[in-house]
Structure formats: structure tokens, C-alpha cells
Structure 1
């Protein structure tokens, strides 16, 4: 399945991925080639209802692509603070709202090696580099769980020609057509890098 075919089936795309993946070129392509309105969700989540800004975005008209961080909160919250500001129940409710808007999550992935080189080039700390493997595993777990409530498209970034990792396309550069996988049923559960008790605080 190519990306053109995949996006033709969805009016809403929630685009997420680990720190270091290249989402900008994909979002630019969705806007230029497919007519999506691209918006970026605020990283500041309300304390009492952290998913409210995301639900409000779903009220916009037309084809919508959101550069999001809700799944990122589920992954990086436990890794960096010991808990997520977004509960799994809230995430499931949002996923179902996405599905009702003819939507899907887009999980942008890259290899751990590519992410390490990109983040190191950006001056990432040793602590940030050490958590990459756990973050990749956490995203896989989160999306396999959310796939029980909404479709998930997985877009794998290809390494740059010559075998070296690409530092990532610029904001206005066109990206090559990435391979896309789609799943809407539960996958085998991937062990979370975060202790079970930490996820539910």
C-alpha cells in the first residue's frame, strides 16, 4: 500500500513519532498533494482535561492532519516524569473520536540508529540518547494498543542513499514516498519499558 492510497481512505490523520523522526516533510506532502489542513497541537495540556485541545481540533471542517503529541505523552511522560498526564481511558476515548471522523493515527518510525545520529547531531543529552530504544518500544506498544480503537498507519522512514542515516528533510523539502503499513486489529502486545504501576499513577 502506498501513502496516496492510504490517505484517500481517511479524513483525519493524527501524526506522531519518536523524537528525531521526520514528520515535517510528510505533513507538507499531505497539505500540498492531498489537500489536508495541517495543524500542530499545543504541547501545553490542560490539567483537568488534557485531551480537550485534541477533541477541539476534531471539530474543524475538511481533511485534517494533526502534528500531535498525545501518544508522545503516553510514552515520554512515564519515561521522564514517572507518569503520563493522559490516561489510557482518555486516549481510548480520543482514538474512538478519531475513528468516528473517518480518521487514523500515523505512526512515523525510524531505526534506533538513525534516531541516535539525528538527535546527537542536534546536541541531545546523553540521557535523551539513552532513552531512544525504550521510546521506540513504548511507541510500538502504545500504537498496538490504540489500534483496538482506531486504525493505525505505520510509515517507515528509509535511510539516506549510501547507507548513512539522513539528518532528516527540512520543513519545506519533499519527502520520498515512504512505505506504509496499516493495522486496525490488536497486534501481539509489546512489553512496555515503563513499570505497570508507573503508567497508571
Structure 2
């Protein structure tokens, strides 16, 4: 599936990726070439209902591309704080709402070495580099899990030749794989027993 096919089939795209991936180019291309409105979810989530901003964004009409951090919270929360503020149940409910809107998660990825170089160029602390190596497979795992509730399309950034060369301005993400098989919700194998009164 290429980007043109994706935009023809899906009216809602939730774009996520590791810290350091270049999502802005993809979002700009979706807006300029395909008429998507861009929704940006806040990085700081409400404490009581952290998924509320995402549900509110999905209420908008028309074609929508969301620059999101929901999966990022599922990945970076445990890495940085030992827990995520978003539960898997909340993430599954959001994924179900996304699927009902004929939406898809778009997982933008880049090689670990590229991400490490970008973080180093930004002057990030050396402690961030091992975090990147842990985050990349954690994103893969999170998207495989969410694919049970909503389709996931993975896109790789095109190789960039570096800042100032002009080639990076033309780089866009291209779809490379799709996890679109919707699996039924997992039900407990333990039967519900009603206690007599």
C-alpha cells in the first residue's frame, strides 16, 4: 500500500513515532497534497482522563491527520517514570474509536543510528541514547498490540543526506508494511459465575 492508496481509503490518520523521527514532513504533505486537516494533541495529558484530548480530536469532521503522542506515552512512560499515564484499556478504547471512524495508526520509523545522531545533534543528554535503542522495539510491540483494535501502517523515512543539502526537504515517508487484520477482542476463558443470593 502506498501513501496515495492509504489516503484514498482512510479519512483519519493518527501519526506516531519515536522521538527523533520526522513526522512534520509527512503531516505537511498530507495537508498540502491530500487535504487533511492537522490535529495536534497536547504532550501534557490531563491527569483524570488522559485520552480525552484524543477523543475530542476524533470528533472533528472531514479528513484528519493527528500528530499524536498516545503510543509514545505507552512507550516512554514506563521507560522514564516506570509507568504510563495511559492504560492499555484506554488505548484500546481509543483504537476502537479510531477504527469506527475508518482510521488507521501510522507508525513512522527510522533506524536507531539515525535517531541517535539526531538526538546528539540536538544536544540531548547521553542518557537518551540507550533510551532510543529501548524505545524502537517498544514502539513495534505497542503497535502490534494496538493492531488488534485498529489497522496500523508502518512507514519508513527515506534516507536523508543531511541538513542543508536540500535532499532532506524532499524526503517523505513511504508505507512499507501494514498490520490490518482485525482480531476479535480477547475474552476471559474463565466463565462468569453468578453467586446465588
Instruction: Give the TM interval when normalised to the shorter protein.
Output: 0.7 to 0.9
Contact 2:39 2:66 in 1 (8 A): yes
Contact 1:118 1:168 in 2 (8 A): no
**In structure 1, how many angstroms separate the alpha carbons of the residues matched to 2:170 and 2:160?**
14
From 159, 162, 180, the equivalent of 2:176 is 180
Please give the residue correspondences for 1:105-144 in structure 2 after superposition, counting only pairs within 5 Å. Answer: 105-144=105-144
TM-score by length of 2: 0.86
The answer for the alignment partner of 2:23 in structure 1 is 23
1:159 to partner: Cα distance: 1.8
Pick 1 or 2: higher relative contact order, CA cutoff 8 A, min separation 6. Answer: 1
1:174 to partner: Cα distance: 4.4
3-state SS of the aligned residue for 1:179? Answer: strand
Say how many residue pairs are matched.
182
The answer for the alignment partner of 1:70 in structure 2 is 70
The answer for the alignment partner of 1:6 in structure 2 is 6
The answer for the alignment partner of 2:40 in structure 1 is 40
1:71 to partner: Cα distance: 0.2
Which has the higher Rg, Structure 1 or Structure 2? 2
TM-score by length of 1: 0.85
**In structure 2, how many angstroms separate the alpha carbons of the residues matched to 1:168 and 1:6?**
30
Whether 2:100 is the aligned partner of 1:104: answer: no
Q: Which runs of 4+ in 1 moved over 6 A?
A: none
Encode CA deviations 1:21-74: one digit per residue, 9 max, x unaligned.
Answer: 000000000001110000210112111110011000011010000000000000
The answer for the alignment partner of 2:146 in structure 1 is 146
**In structure 2, how many angstroms separate the alpha carbons of the residues matched to 1:104 and 1:58?**
12
Gaps of 5+ in 2: 184-197
Contact 1:29 1:175 in 2 (8 A): no
3-state SS of the aligned residue for 1:125? Answer: coil
Shift in alpha-carbon separation, 1:55–1:65, aligned structure 2, 3 A: same
Contact 1:25 1:169 in 2 (8 A): no
Shift in alpha-carbon separation, 1:156–1:177, aligned structure 2, 3 A: closer
